[in-house]
Amino acid sequence: MADGTIGLWTVPLAVLGGAIRVSTPFLFVSLGECITERAGRINLGLEGTLVMGAMSAYGISYVTGSPWLGVLAAGITGALLGALHAGICSLPRVNDIAVGIALMLFGTGLAFYLGKPLIEPSAPHLPAIDFGWWSDVAQVRAALRINVLFLIGVALAPILYWAFRTTRWGLLIRTAGESADAARAMGHSVLMIRLRATMAGGFLAGIGGSFLSLFYPGSWNEGLSSGQGITAVALVIFARWDPMLCLWASLAFGGAAALGPALQSVGVTSGYHLFNAAPYILTLLIMIITCSPKRNLSGAPAELSITR
Amino acid sequence: MTSETADPAQAAGIAPAADPGFLQRHGGSIEYVLIPGAALIAALGVFGGFVALFGKNPLDLYFYMYYGAFGTWFSWQNTLTRAAPLILTALCTALPAQLGMVIIGGEGALLIGALCATSAALALQAMPPLVVQFSMVGAGMIGGGLWIMLAGALRQYRGVNETISSLLLVYIALAVLNHLVEGPLRDPASLNKPSTREIGAANMIGSIPGTDVHWGLLFGVVAAVAAYILIYHTTFGFAARVAGGNIRAAKIVGLSVGKLILSICFLAGACAGLAGMVEVAAVQGRTNANLAVGYGFTGILVAFLARQNPLAVIPVAILLGGIGASGGLLQRRLGLPDASVQVLQGIIFIFVLASDAIYGRIGFLKGRS
């Protein structure tokens, strides 16, 4: 490490770089979950979707040689898992949270099962754009090597924000989430809206997974995801179901997750695991502060089972 | 152990009445066995089709699963050893379910219970083994109990959804465990796998005589029976089921819903904490990251498959313990990946949940599932 040149600046730089790199899966999963939850369903199975997405992206990228086909495959896999979730949830008296837990088990299990032969080979990675060309310092260049998927995710947040507010689809999703009866009275099938919203959510979560295996950390193994899918679901609550807040919260969570390794690199090793748990603790604290037995979380879709 | 909790029943202060759920429960019991059983068979069928896609013979699969789970005395012992923590972690989901709460944080309570039990054993090294073992049971149950009670308290006093909070607490518990095991509690001799010091061979709880199955199985069975009696044959359990059926009605008749939530959550966590203690005192001998192998998550599946009935948890845990136990044989004989057990569990879980939709259609109107 060329540590002497920039000294303690390593930490904020690593946090910045980490915020950009680590936040991308958070960003995609949380935007996806945001769509699903706005429609009135909660999909806890996105952890499984993320891992399945990572596995299928890696596999397809390895077989075809095109990482972008891998990203597409991850999205499609995610959408299929979303359809499975929505399909089971549309049966009467089925608890969506429990289905999510089942799909979390199923998705990770299936990914490990199918991904066994993919641990050895190495697949082509996603390209990155070098925004750090102006600097001579290696750490700055490393921090500013930004993946295209991150930029897509950043662009997606305001698009979703706008779409929820102004488009017909956004309105339909929000209606299904706020009052299923109202959506029904308008002549729309709530189940169909939720099916599509859950599939869209799964699509984005799958893409988030492809980032894990095709860019950072950039390989396929069974320890690839350490609960990022769950964190992202919690992050949506943290972000009050607002796509723009999802973006900022993802960056903050990414930075928090990068803080542990960054501190470790300058010799602060104690508390490493506690820093890793920061996103979970933060989410829990936010829920404690903003919930009250009298009223719901502000901004929460009224049909959402966690707010009832 | 858990029977001491009959006390809050009197505290709840309801007159012991004839249990109206009794007849209903037995009227629907055929449905309770038939539907999960059918879901299980359907899941096995789908899994058979799945492995057939990879060129394996499904009949071989079923044979080796049976053989690896219940075929020999050796596999029976393996199955029962795995069933012990599953019974206890399943109770962590099944007990709060009586109140209509979905707690999925058994894994976290298991880890905290293991940490507390190990710390108790390490602090009391000089004491006679029996004292150490009792303290481990107490510490594990109190640790795990408080951990889940936190989720219950947040629900009661802050309106925080207990499912999300208990899941977040799993990851926090894992971080706490890793932090302590690699820091303050680390045994300097454990190089590759950071662990606490060993609790000592004398303090291990050992096996049931004549078997290799440890005493944890008995802990599990006793806890499940006690939970069953508590829920179905005490006023406390009756109050809990009333509150689970209709919170407003429970408040009108003067039940203290907050006390019910806190005590049920404590008991639920205590069961999972006991599972952690058992894994330390009967299997691992110390605390390290090996404890987080997913007994808490499989326990959720056990609870749902058992329709949240504490007594049904025992056979279901043995069944799923058997599936887990057969994993090794499937790997060796059929060359299936070690994740096949997890895939099968996922499929079973999906079918069991989807089968919830059938309940009303066969008949037997139930108050709630």
**Residue pairs spanning A and B at CB distance below 8 A:** 149
Domain count, chain B: 1
Q: What is the pLDDT of residue B99?
A: 93
- Mutate one of B92, B112, B161 to test the A interface: name it (highest A CB count within 10 A): B161
With CB atoms and an 8 Å threshold, state whether A280 touches B168. Answer: yes
pLDDT in tens, A79-102: 999 999 999 999 988 888 889 989
Residue, of A96 and B136, whose pLDDT is higher: B136
Q: For the residues A150-162, what does the mean pLDDT come to?
A: 95
CATH code of A300's domain: 1.10.3470
With CB atoms and an 8 Å threshold, state whether B179 touches A272. Answer: yes
Restricting to B residues 273-332, those with a Cβ less than 8 Å away from any Cβ of A are 297, 300-301, 304
* B81 within domain boundaries: yes
With CB atoms and an 8 Å threshold, state whether B163 touches A110. Answer: no
- Mutate one of A105, A112, A296 to test the B interface: name it (highest B CB count within 10 A): A105
Q: What is the pLDDT of residue A94?
A: 86
Residues of B in contact with A280 (CB under 8 A): 168, 171-172, 175
B369 interface with A at CB cutoff 8 Å:
yes
B229 interface with A at CB cutoff 8 Å:
no
With CB atoms and an 8 Å threshold, state whether B356 touches A95. Answer: yes
Give the gap in angstroms from C-alpha B211 to the nearest C-alpha of chain A. Answer: 32
Q: What is the pLDDT of residue B364?
A: 46
Residues of B in contact with A111 (CB under 8 A): 339
With CB atoms and an 8 Å threshold, state whether B300 touches A101. Answer: yes
B51: nearest CA partner in chain A? A113
Residue, of A161 and A308, whose pLDDT is higher: A161
Q: What is the DSSP string of chain A?
A: --HHHHGGGHHHHHHHHHHHHHHHHHHHHHHHHHHHHHTT---TTHHHHHHHHHHHHHHHHHHHS-HHHHHHHHHHHHHHHHHHHHHHHTSTT--HHHHHHHHHHHHHHHHHHHHGGGSSS-PPPPPEEETTTT---HHHHHHTEEEHHHHHHHHHHHHHHHHHHHSHHHHHHHHHHH-HHHHHHTT--HHHHHHHHHHHHHHHHHHHHHHHHHTSS-S--TTS-SSHHHHHHHHHHHTTT-HHHHHHHHHHHHHHHHHHHHHHHTT--TTHHHHHTHHHHHHHHHHHHH--SSSPPTT--TT-GGG-
Residue A113 is nearest to which of B178, B340, B356, comparing CB atoms? B340
Q: Which of A93-97, A212-216, B281-285 has the lowest mean pLDDT?
A: A93-97
CATH code of B323's domain: 1.10.3470
- Mutate one of A273, A274, A292, A294 to test the B interface: name it (highest B CB count within 10 A): A273
Residue B26 confidence class, pLDDT cut points 50, 70, 90: low
Whole domain around residue A128: which residue ranges? 3-307
- Residue positions counted in chain A: 308
Give the gap in angstroms from C-alpha B298 to the nearest C-alpha of chain A. Answer: 9
With CB atoms and an 8 Å threshold, state whether A91 touches B356. Answer: yes
Percent of chain B with pLDDT over 70: 90
Contacts of residue B119, Cβ cutoff 8 Å, sequence gap at least 6: B139, B185
Interface ipTM: 0.90
B361: nearest CA partner in chain A? A92
Q: Interhelix angle for A46-64 vs A10-38, to 10°? A: 110
Give the gap in angstroms from C-alpha A137 to the nearest C-alpha of chain B. Answer: 33
B368: nearest CA partner in chain A? A93
Residue A94 is nearest to which of B175, B342, B353, comparing CB atoms? B353
* B366 within domain boundaries: no
pTM of the predicted model, to two decimals?
A: 0.88
Residues of A in contact with B174 (CB under 8 A): 277
With CB atoms and an 8 Å threshold, state whether A277 touches B157. Answer: no
Helix (H) and strand (E) counts in chain B: 16, 0
Residue A244 confidence class, pLDDT cut points 50, 70, 90: very high
Q: What is the pLDDT of residue A290?
A: 77
Q: Interhelix angle for B313-334 vs B340-354, to 10°? A: 140
Residue B357 is nearest to which of A91, A106, A291, comparing CB atoms? A91
With CB atoms and an 8 Å threshold, state whether A273 touches B297. Answer: no
* B143 within domain boundaries: yes
With CB atoms and an 8 Å threshold, state whether A277 touches B176. Answer: yes
Give the gap in angstroms from C-alpha A271 to the nearest C-alpha of chain B. Answer: 6
What is the pLDDT of chain B when averaged over all its residues? 88
pLDDT in tens, B207-217: 999 898 999 99
Q: What is the largest CA-CA distance in chain A?
A: 67
Residue B15 confidence class, pLDDT cut points 50, 70, 90: very low
Domain count, chain A: 1
B166 interface with A at CB cutoff 8 Å:
no
* B135 within domain boundaries: yes
Residue B282 confidence class, pLDDT cut points 50, 70, 90: very high
Residue B337 is nearest to which of A113, A283, A294, comparing CB atoms? A113
Residue B30: both structure tokens together: 């055929």
Whole domain around residue B47: which residue ranges? 2-14+31-360
Residues of A in contact with B96 (CB under 8 A): none
pLDDT in tens, A45-70: 999 999 999 999 999 999 999 999 99
Residue A122 confidence class, pLDDT cut points 50, 70, 90: confident
Q: Is A163 exposed, middle or buried (0-12, 13-18, 19+ CB in 10 A)?
A: middle
With CB atoms and an 8 Å threshold, state whether A102 touches B301. Answer: yes
What is the pLDDT of chain A when averaged over all its residues? 87
Q: What is the pLDDT of residue B230?
A: 96
Q: What is the DSSP string of B149-198?
A: HHHHHIIIII---HHHHHHHHHHHHHHHHHHHHHTTTB-TT--SS-BBPP
Q: For the residues B314-336, what does the mean pLDDT come to?
A: 93
Residue A228 confidence class, pLDDT cut points 50, 70, 90: confident
* B368 within domain boundaries: no
With CB atoms and an 8 Å threshold, state whether B179 touches A281. Answer: no
Residues of B in contact with A229 (CB under 8 A): none
* B25 within domain boundaries: no
Residue B25 confidence class, pLDDT cut points 50, 70, 90: low
